[in-house]
Structure 1
Amino acid sequence: MKKLSLTLCLLSALFASSTRAETALLKPFGPGSYQTLLRQQHNHPLMLVLWSLTCSSCMKEMRMLKTIGDNHPGLSIVLVSVDDSGDAEQVRKVLKNNQLEEMNNWLFTEANSAQLRYQIDPTWYGELPRTYFYDSAHDRSGISGVLSKQDYERFIGQIMQ
């Protein structure tokens, strides 16, 4: 009886941990989240990627982001979906399909996405994909549009110095 109980406990713990691993944690990105995110990454190089389910170019870059993360373990990569919070399950599915569940993932929560975009960058008007590269002092470069693997490597090399 004790063996059966122990086995059931172990199986339930294993099932619970595998379920969590399969579901990407999406932090709510609302007013003030950008400043929180930067404080969490204080004195660390950071790559902030803004993307959307409706952005075909973003979808093409997802697999490359996994490779970049694997190749640069010292780089914090933060992914922010600018989609509506009602799209959370679909966002999680895209992250899972591209093996990005373990990254620092956020999802816009405000109906007023322009306000959130402005908090990130007053000069950004919503074009996607949008990637920001921050060095350890959090000086940043923002790039709109698709980046090649070589572009990513060049910018990452600059911020990791």
Structure 2
Amino acid sequence: MKNLTLIFCLLSSLFTPLSQGGTLPLQPFGPGSYQTILEQQQNRPLMLVLWSLTCSSCMKEMGMLKKISDRHPELTIVLISVDDYSEAEQVRAMLQKNQLSEMNNWLFSVGNSAQLRYQIDPTWYGELPRTYFYDAAHDRTAVSGVLSAQDYERLIADILP
């Protein structure tokens, strides 16, 4: 267990870039990270978006996520890339390209992605994009696949006070 903690800490240092121009670090998503995110957003609505560099639909939605963030500054949006941690630079570049670097960004940090997916949702088998909408009580709605702007607005309206 101590070795796992040490490895996780070392990996964390790889993910924390020098912050430039308001860009938040890309945080390592490992065992316990999901619970940490929920605790950080306790009693607040949340939109959790899972994506990948290899998901063409995810790439198409990136611009829409920026617009949603601008339209709903009161809503916390957390982005989790399910890509391998070796692709951290490409993930950062994609976030920067789409002006999403200032959001709460995470990247899977351990090789067992099935275990991390299970921690988020035991009924999720990895289809992307995958978006969760949490109300203030953290009752959630899960959606797999591409959402239209109208779908986003309807689902966000359901979780915002």
TM-score range, shorter-chain basis?
0.7 to 0.9
* Partner AA of 1:122 in structure 2: P
Instruction: Give 3-state SS (helix, strand or coil) of 2:158's partner.
Output: helix
1:48-69 deviation per Cα after TM superposition (whole angstroms, max 9, x unaligned): 0000000000000001000000
Match of 1:57 in 2: 57
Match of 1:123 in 2: 123
Instruction: Give 3-state SS (helix, strand or coil) of 2:99's partner.
Output: coil
Deviation, 1:23, is: 5.1
Runs of 4+ in 1 over 6 A off after TM superposition: none
Structure 2 CA distance for aligned equivalents of residues 119 and 28 of structure 1: 15
Structure 1 CA distance for aligned equivalents of residues 84 and 112 of structure 2: 10
Measured at CA, do residues 39 and 22 of structure 1 come closer, stay the same or move farther in structure 2, by a change above 3 Å?
closer
The answer to whether the 8 A contact 1:130-1:144 is kept is yes
Gaps of 5+ in 1: 1-17
1:50-104 deviation per Cα after TM superposition (whole angstroms, max 9, x unaligned): 0000000000000100000000011000000000110000000000000001000
Match of 1:101 in 2: 101
Structure 1 CA distance for aligned equivalents of residues 84 and 109 of structure 2: 6
Measured at CA, do residues 47 and 114 of structure 1 come closer, stay the same or move farther in structure 2, by a change above 3 Å?
same
The structure number with the bigger radius of gyration is 1
Task: Normalising by structure 2, report the TM-score.
Answer: 0.87
Higher helix share: 1
* Aligned-CA RMSD value: 1.3
Q: Percent identity?
A: 72
Alignment of 1:2-151 (within 5 A): 20-21=20-21, 24-151=24-151
Instruction: Give 3-state SS (helix, strand or coil) of 1:20's partner.
Output: coil
Size of the alignment, in residue pairs? Answer: 144
Measured at CA, do residues 75 and 19 of structure 1 come closer, stay the same or move farther in structure 2, by a change above 3 Å?
closer
